[in-house]
Structure 1
Amino acid sequence: MFFNINILSLTLGFFFANILSTVPAQTGDWNIISGAVIVTSYEIISKALYRNIITKKPYIINLINNFKIGIVYGLFVDAFKLGS
Structure 2
Amino acid sequence: MLGFFFANVLSTIPAQTGDWGIMSGAIIATTNEILSQIIYNKNKSFINNLINNTKIGIIYGLFVDAFKLGS
TM-score band, normalised by shorter chain:
over 0.9
Aligned partner of 1:37 in structure 2 is: 27
Unpaired segments of 5 or more residues in structure 1? 1-10
Q: Which residue of 1 aligns with 2:3?
A: 13
RMSD after superposition: 1.0
- TM-aligned CA deviation for residue 59 of structure 1: 1.1
Aligned-pair identity in percent equals: 70
The yes-or-no answer on 1:23 pairing with 2:13 is yes
Of residues 43, 48, 53 in structure 2, which corresponds to 1:66? 53
Size of the aligned set, in residue pairs, is 71
Tell me the TM-score normalised to structure 1 length: 0.79
- Structure 2 unaligned segments of length 5 or more: list them: none
Q: Residue 64 of structure 2 aligns to which amino acid in structure 1? A: V
Q: Structure 1 stretches (4+) deviating beyond 6 angstroms?
A: none
